[in-house]
Amino acid sequence: MMDVNLTIIGAGVVGLAIAEKVSQHYKNVFLIEKHQSFGQETSSRNSEVIHAGIYYTKDSLKAKLCIEGKWLLYDYCRRYDIPYNNCGKLIVATSEEEIAVIEGIRQTAIKNGVDDMLVLDRKQIAALEPNIFALKALYSPSTGIVDSHSLMKQYETNAINNDCMIVYGSEVTGISRIRNGYKISLIDSDKKSYSFSTGIVINSAGLTADKVSEMVGIADDKLKIMFCKGEYFRINPPKNRLINRLVYPVPHQNMEGIGIHVTIDMGGGVKLGPDVKYLETNVYDYKVTLSKQEAFYMSARKFLPFLEFDDLAPEMAGIRPKIQKPGEPLRDFYIMEETAKGFPRFINLIGMESPGLTSSLSIAKYVNNLINNTI
């Protein structure tokens, strides 16, 4: 007899969404989080964009889960009164070469099932965003923003109402295979060691999901997480009021990031970023590099002609859990039930970078199906 049916490790937006979903169907569900509350890492250090699913490789999990997830998320926000804004996004071309790239992006989007994108000329762009410069733009009407804290709070509330037991301040330190399940060791908030048995494990430990996977014995170089930092600068008032939607430049080739872009938030703030920098070692480095202000300014000035250097101020940084090594082609989310590796009913979620927030509800549904198919 197991102490617990199902244990989820990590209360970021992904772990919380899974907790809400699986606790509708299973009793005796545990969610364990090392911090004192939810969403203290990547889930509260991101752009809060509801992505449309434009850029991802056809048939990838990122493409499928993003598109399904965005519609689920809009419905969820309406149902629970979570602040969101389906504000739309412009991808702007500021040179002749970039105009050529735009049509390719539209084709990729169509292949993924995003068929509502519009190509806009200068006049149409000016009607939407009179203060930006662009020769041509792609407009994505299904892109938006969400208040991610309210979203996570709702996932938490619903999970608790479904009798999910959420344990904060407890860090999982070891996992071993036992008959019919797993033994989980942790250090609780009083620094005491504790262990219990569980039938199913879901590893949604974000930046350290590879380490949690190694605890049970799944160590794979392809699943090694590299910390990849993204920094933001905000646009100070009053110029933040000159932009009403998300504005992105044409992305780089291997999609390590999608270029320094403009995001708006539910509080009326406007920020530039994130940039993309792999850290040499996996350290939680959330400092904003002041000397980057010039590069941010030069990059954004191409499509924000009103911007002056002093309009910017350092905002924050987040860290992507990348399994894609620098220069490698785009990697997909790794979401796997690990029977093939000898660990039945152990589900790994590794490399849950963007669009993990957008996809949180569809990821939860996907994981719930994995569980149903393996029990």
Cα 46 to Cα 74, 116, 235: the distances in Å are: 18, 25, 16
Asked if 205 is part of the footprint of ligand FAD (rule: CB under 6 A), the reply reads yes
Sheet holding 49-50, edge to edge: 49-50, 144-146, 84-85
Q: Pick the stretch among 42-50, 118-126, 156-164, 324-332 that binds ligand FAD (CB under 6 A).
A: 42-50
Of 136 and 321, the one with the shorter C-beta distance to ligand FAD is 321
Asked if 40 is part of the footprint of ligand FAD (rule: CB under 6 A), the reply reads yes
Asked if 181 is part of the footprint of ligand FAD (rule: CB under 6 A), the reply reads no
Cα 19 to Cα 204, 215, 259, 358: the distances in Å are: 11, 22, 33, 16
Binding mask 257-286 for ligand FAD (x = CB under 6 A): -----------------x------------
In the window 64-93, what residues touch ligand FAD (CB under 6 A)? none
Say how many residues touch ligand FAD, by CB under 6 A.
Answer: 42
222/50 Cα distance (integer angstroms): 28
3-state SS class at 46? coil
How would you classify residue 198: left for phi > 0, otherwise alpha for psi between -120 and 50, otherwise beta?
beta
Give the CA count within 13 Å in the CB-facing half-sphere of 144: 20
The structure tokens listed for 215 are 């605890």
Closest to 136 measured CA to CA, from 150, 124, 147 = 124
CB of 53 to ligand FAD, least distance (A): 10
Nearest-CB residue to ligand FAD?
356
Q: Which of 20, 33, 275, 311 binds ligand FAD (CB under 6 A)?
A: 33
- Beta-sheet pairing, 270-272 with 193-203: unpaired
Q: Pick the stretch among 86-94, 127-135, 176-184, 315-323 that binds ligand FAD (CB under 6 A).
A: 315-323
CB of 139 to ligand FAD, least distance (A): 18
Q: Which of 77, 114, 125, 357 binds ligand FAD (CB under 6 A)?
A: 357
Site residues, ligand FAD (CB under 6 A): 9-15, 32-35, 39-43, 45-49, 51, 171-172, 204-208, 212, 230, 274, 318-320, 352-358
